[in-house]
Amino acid sequence: MLIRDLYGLSLHNLLLHKVRSLLTSLGIIFGVGSVIAMLAISGGAKKEALAQIAAMGIDNIIVYTKTLKKAGGSEKARSTTLEYGLSHLDLENIRKMDNIGHMTTARDARVRVTKGIEALDVQMFWVTERFMKDLNCKIVRGRWLAPSDFLNATAVCVIGKDVQRKLFNLGEKEILGRKVLVPGGAFSIVGILENNAGTTIEGINSLNDSIYIPSTTGKQVFTEYTIETGPRMIKIHHVENDLLVIKVKDTSVIDHTAKRISSLLAKTHKEKDWGINVPLSLLKQKETTQNIFTIVMGSIAAISLIVGGIGIMNIMLANVYERRKEIGTRRAMGAKKRDILFQFLIETVFLTVMGGILGIGLGFGLAAAVTHFSGMPSDVSMWSIIGSITISGIVGVVFGTYPAWQAANQNPIQALKAE
């Protein structure tokens, strides 16, 4: 028989029993749907996590001051000042190292930001001029801190996009020029900053939840602050930087540079009141972990495809039994074994491929529903769609070959005698 005749005959037989054909494909539909949905959800989580790390800069080394532990009744609790965090000398020593491009610093002003009498989960930092660029942020309204602001120690600030929501009412549109009042001064808002990836850095909950002022202004206004350590209040004025972002020249040796910085700080600090992160290393680790997670999720979902394939094989075997007279008649009229084999194999592959196509639609719907109701991101990749269609076809060939072989090997005389 001609191939087109085989396709036509196979499709005709499937359309004669539309409901049964649909029910036969359900295993493949749900199998492919679950594979697409799981891969989309894990892919979205991977994309979001990697974007957050990448937003910190793959050519950056981030050094931060660790939260000071309460000293209780120790010798430190009886002192009035405390050396703590990253000092100016640390910066000078790091700057002299090889592979150091430039550095950006930030210090927490450690003031309470309030709306009326309500304390807000908002931090104020005094930062250097390149802070926004080095941490991949952008201005959505207004402007960033200008060189003149640093030169003149101007009382201005840039707020994160989430600070606008927390600090002002929803109906207020004229935010630029408004004042942010904190203990120590009032700062005019000149811009609104946004970090699309929602990057969080140790010591900074979120870049979108913070207020930024010029470092020169901060040094004039916030000369010292106090913390509670047990029964006493300790004045601290030796913290010069809470965050140091180091831009390296060559990323191929960034891990070696980070180890050298760690070794230097270990020698100059009595206690480990600092920490260090290398976004590039975190990116590689996270990517490896997410890939493993995606493989596991995909493998679990793929089991349902195997179950669906077994179901199709069982139904096709029953189909062969029901159509013995048809097989016997066609063989008696001159059809060859391969014609019978290809006819049943084409029917099975058609069922699985059509099930795969419907399953892709189901997967899109499930992924969209999860994103809508839970807020979890999803990302349906093209390779998962192509892979699902390919796997569906392979399932049809693998699980359809045995029923097709059984049909092709029916004895024509016995098949015609069948009741």
Q: Any residues with CB less than 8 A from the CB of 205 and at least 6 apart, and which?
A: 121, 123
CA distance 82 to 233: 11
Beta strand segments in 11-110, E: 60-65, 100-108
Which residues 6+ apart lie within 8 Å of 281 measured at CB?
A: 254, 255, 258
Looking at residues 208-236, what average pLDDT do you find? Answer: 70
pLDDT averaged over every residue in the chain: 78
Higher pLDDT, 230 or 53: 53
Q: Look up residue 158 and give its DSSP letter.
A: E
Average pLDDT over residues 264-293: 77
311 CB contacts (<8 Å, ≥6 apart)?
A: 24, 26, 27
- Structural contact between residues 311 and 22, judged by C-beta atoms closer than 8 angstroms: no
Report pLDDT for 219.
85
3-state secondary structure of 355: helix
Cβ count within 10 A of residue 104: 23
Q: Is the pLDDT reported for residue 203 higher than 70?
A: no
Structure tokens at 170: 């929803």
What's the one-letter identity of residue 44? G
Domain locations in the chain as residue ranges: 3-52+285-417, 59-277
Higher-pLDDT residue of 40 and 202 is 40
Interatomic CA distance for residues 52 and 377, integer angstroms = 13
pLDDT of residue 73: 40
Tokens 């029910």, located at residue? 23
Q: Is the pTM of this model over 0.85?
A: no
Q: Cβ contacts of residue 135 below 8 Å, gap of 6+?
A: 55, 56, 57, 104, 195, 199, 201, 207, 245
Can you read off the two tokens belonging to residue 84? 């703590």
Residue 251: strand, helix, or coil: helix
Q: Which residues contact 174 (CB under 8 A, 6 or more apart)?
A: none
Residues in the chain: 419
Dihedrals phi, psi of 193, to nearest 5 degrees:
-105, 150
Read off the pLDDT band of 355 (50, 70, 90): confident
For 142-166, the pLDDT digits (tens) are: 999 999 999 999 999 999 988 888 8
- Helix 279-322 to helix 254-268 angle (10° resolution) is 130
